[in-house]
Amino acid sequence: MDNKQRIRLGISIGDTNGIGPEIVIKTLSDQRILNFCTPVIYASAAILDRVRKSLNAEHFHYQQVDSAGALTHKKVNLINCLEAEPAYEPGTPTPASGKASLDSLLAASRDLKAGLLDGIVTAPINKDNIQAEDFRFPGHTEFLTSYFDAADSLMLLVSGDLRVATVTGHIPVKDVPDKLTEQLLIRKITILLESLRKDFGILKPRIAVLGLNPHAGEKGLLGSEETEIIRPTIVQMKERGHLVFGPYPADGFFGMQQYKQVDAVLSMYHDQGLIPFKTLAMESGVNFTAGLPVVRTSPDHGTAYDIAGRYIADPTSFREALFLACDILKKRQTA
């Protein structure tokens, strides 16, 4: 792969007092990753050097560059983008560490929008301390959907052939029933179908749709959303020639491992999909934002303040996020 074809992958550092810097350094200490992409970390030399020293990461090296337009290939690149250097207080969310996570995310997103990057991998943020005038969103997914002017997007959790998406994302559970409409379900199913084809190379994808209520409503006895909204939507999608099945009771569906019979599962709300997914694939899971014109992945875990600074964090999920971003970009480039 020559330099013109090499994937330029931005990495936002996340909350600097969480495990973000640690898992980034552990992942990029493996020089073989440079055969797949050119990583560009958006952070500061002071943070990386502090964590590198604590980790004794002798195989981690980086090259500072002024901009993403002047990258050094076959090396890890660093763009110093933090407006102010936050104090390093691992395990403690602070306004300064939240500001650093936002500075990093905004800088990486700007370069991605400008075409200087091919995709981004985002380390975990704290959804509270990142809030600012230019960030009024529940999380990465909603921010990036707005920033890249996407009509809609879909949170899609991936680990090998296991793929679980959510119709509703970061909203209170009590608001979920009022959000569910046939129009919303059709949009989310359509995004999922298109992503499975374009991003995962599945020509005729099969999707299982979960019910909202216990036992998928038990024919209306335990709730009407299945009979009034979910099942009619599935019928519509089938009439359009799509392989969409359900609604399935969520507990039995995962308990009987029916997810192995389909290419993706569409859950109705955040925890309905993420609890079984993380039970099955906590260490290797990746969060991919489907439906965007750009590629963004992240590890499927949070800041892990409870172990930050102990340097025992497992980088597997972040490494898998980096590789998935590369895989999807390759598929999009060759489509």
Q: Print the SS3 string covering 46-107.
A: HHHHHHHHHHCCCCCCCEECCCHHHCCCCCCEEEECCCCCCCCCCCCCCHHHHHHHHHHHHH
With a CB cutoff of 8 Å and minimum separation 6, the contacts of 209 are 185, 189, 230, 233, 234, 244, 245, 246, 247, 248, 265, 266
Task: Specify the pTM.
Answer: 0.94
Same topology, domains 1-150+292-335 and 152-291? Answer is yes
Residue range 65-74: mean pLDDT, rounded:
94
pLDDT of residue 152: 95
Token output for 223: 């709730």
| Top-tier CATH class for 152-291 | alpha beta
**pLDDT for 224:** 87
264 beta partners: 207
> What distance in Å separates the CA atoms of residue 251 and residue 245, rounded to the nearest whole number?
16
Q: 1-150+292-335 has which CATH code?
A: 3.40.718.10
What is the rounded CA–CA span in Å between residue 145 and residue 139?
10
Cis peptide preceding 95, ω within 30 of 0? no
Q: Is the pLDDT of residue 1 over 60?
A: no
Say which range, 42-51, 108-117, 194-203, 221-230, has the weakest mean pLDDT.
221-230
At 134 the pLDDT is: 87
Q: How far apart, in whole angstroms, are the C-alpha atoms of residue 101 and residue 84?
A: 11
Find out whether 226 and 235 touch, Cβ atoms under 8 Å: no
List, for residues 197-245, the tens digit of each pLDDT value: 999 999 999 999 999 988 876 777 777 888 999 999 999 999 999 999 9
For the chain, what is the largest distance between any 2 Cα atoms, rounded to a whole number of angstroms?
62
Q: Domain segments of the chain: what residues?
A: 1-150+292-335, 152-291
Determine the 3-state secondary structure of 154 from DSSP: strand
Give the lowest-confidence range in 1-5, 39-43, 108-112: 1-5
Give 269-293 pLDDT, tens digit per residue: 999 999 999 999 988 999 999 999 9
Average pLDDT score over residue span 89-115: 97
Given this model, what pLDDT does residue 215 score?
A: 85
- Residue in 60, 42, 40 with CA at minimum distance from that of residue 50: 60
pLDDT tens digits for 241-273? 999 999 999 999 999 999 999 999 999 999 999
Q: Closest Cα partner for 298 from 51, 9, 97?
A: 9
pLDDT in the model for residue 214: 84
What confidence tier does 3 reach under pLDDT thresholds 50, 70, 90?
low
Average pLDDT over residues 74-102: 95
For the stretch 165-196, pLDDT in tens is: 999 988 899 999 999 999 999 999 999 999 99
| pLDDT for position 4 | 56
Q: What is the dihedral of CA 122, 128, 133, 139, to 10 degrees?
A: 40
